[in-house]
Amino acid sequence: MEKSGYTEAGIQRVFKNYIPPFFMFDPNAYLEKKREELKNVTGRAIVAASGGVDSTVCAFLSHSILEDVTAVFIDDGLMREKEPEQVAHLFREGGIEVTIIPAQEEFFTDLKGKTDPEEKRRAFRNTFYKVLGRTLKDMQAEYLIQGTIAADIKETQGGIKTQHNILTQIGIDPGQYGLQIIEPLKDIYKHEVRAVGKALGLPESLWNRIAFPALRLACRVVGEVTPRRVEMVREATAIVEEELLTFNPFQVLAVLLEDRATGMVEGTRKFGNIIALRCVESTDALTAQPTELPWETLHQVVERITTEIPEVIKVVYDITPKPPSTIEYI
């Protein structure tokens, strides 16, 4: 019998979204440490920008320390609507030049026919580094800087999933792609990356933007990744982001499942696609809880997806926490 009115369930409810203050982590001391670490790096470096928080903070951190840094954005055909233009704009505003490298066909060719999640991840990784290796050579750069963070390494080494950006840590030599890799953020977690972005003086829209995997929409297509299947997820993503970002979740996503389901459209039976929605709260992406979305909001999202994307016949809201589920679907 609890004496006060505070039950364990009540405390958990109140503190579910509580983000601990950064008293254990001093971003300014961290920046000092990075300046020291990177001071001997000379020669041209290229940052692989994805538009996500980690690579964006990593790019601006490197740019604040190194002499010759430029960014490349690989257009793999797996991005959200208008993403290449938005990322390029964001970087240019912050004083970093971005070159967009068109590689859509190469990615879709290499992903063709692959349905196993790990096989897809390996195919993506291979194409990604092949294109980057070529780009580095073309741009006469010596180093590739990438925004790998501690969670990526931990999850890959822990055998949960092969994050596309992990090479050395699992015994792959970046030299085979002609690369020397620098990973300035590999010892910190997402909330610390955000604190570093803030300490760098970046606008909140940069360090507090919603997390988005560098594997992009390929994480959100279960089964074969084809241009049309990616297009469906892209359209659904635009809808869920429009409707759900106001709830300020850690991540919000739409996933195209491999299964199909029967529905009725204008009195006729239709066997169509299924989209799963995921909206989660987290601080470090290692654990996550589903967002308790209002019923009316969910109705509105379902209505929009099924009318605006006619191939979709069913929409489900996934409320599985991490663990046991991961945030993404592959």
Check residue 41 for interaction with ligand XMP (CB under 6 A).
no
Q: Which of 106, 155, 231, 311 binds ligand XMP (CB under 6 A)?
A: 155
The whole-angstrom separation of Cα 250 and Cα 288 is: 9
Bridge partners of 231? Answer: none
Which window, 63-71, 82-90, 92-100, 158-166, contacts ligand XMP (CB under 6 A)?
A: 158-166
Residues 257, 273 contacting (CB under 8 angstroms): yes
Residue 87 in the binding site for ligand XMP (CB under 6 A): no
Taking the complex as a whole, how short is the minimal distance between the CB of residue 190 and ligand XMP, in angstroms? 7
Among 56, 62, 70, 163, binds ligand XMP (CB under 6 A): 163
79 binds ligand XMP (CB under 6 A): no
Find the shortest distance in angstroms from Cβ 170 to ligand XMP: 13
| Gap between the Cα atoms of 91 and 299, Å rounded | 37
For residue 128, the one-letter residue type is F
Q: Decide whether 211 or 302 has the Cβ nearer to ligand XMP.
A: 211
Give least dist CB 131 to ligand XMP, A: 16
Give the range of 37-45, 76-84, 211-219, 297-305 binding ligand XMP by CB under 6 A: 211-219
Q: Which is nearer to ligand XMP, 123 or 214 (CB)?
A: 214
CB atoms within 10 A of CB 176: 11
Q: Phi/psi of residue 82, each to 5°?
A: 60, 15
Question: Quick one: which segment of 135-143, 206-214, 220-228, 262-270 binds ligand XMP (CB under 6 A)?
Answer: 206-214
Query: Looking at 27-35, 102-110, 239-247, 320-328, which segment touches ligand XMP (CB under 6 A)?
Result: 320-328
Among 47, 66, 182, 214, binds ligand XMP (CB under 6 A): 214
Angle subtended at Cα 133 by Cα 127 and Cα 135, rounded to the nearest 5 degrees: 100
CB 87 within 8 A of CB 49: yes
- Site membership for ligand XMP, residue 188 (CB under 6 A): no
Binding status of residue 327 toward ligand XMP by CB under 6 A: yes
Rounded to whole angstroms, how far apart are CA atoms 205 and 190? 15
Task: Indicate whether 164 belongs to the interface with ligand XMP (CB under 6 A).
Answer: yes
Binds ligand XMP by CB under 6 A, chosen from 132, 136, 153, 215? 215
- Identity of residue 247: F
Closer to ligand XMP by CB, 98 or 255: give it.
255
Judged by beta carbon, residue 213 or residue 249, the one nearer ligand XMP is 213
Cβ 285 to ligand XMP, closest distance in Å?
4
Q: Which two tokens stand for residue 123?
A: 């195919």
CB of residue 114 to ligand XMP, shortest distance in Å = 15
Output 201 or 324, the one with its CB closest to ligand XMP.
324
Q: Applying CB under 6 A, which part among 160-168, 170-178, 260-268, 303-311 lies near ligand XMP?
A: 160-168
Q: Is 233 in the site for ligand XMP (CB under 6 A)?
A: no
Chain contacts with ligand XMP (rule: CB under 6 A): 155, 161, 163-165, 211, 213-215, 219, 251, 285, 322, 326-328
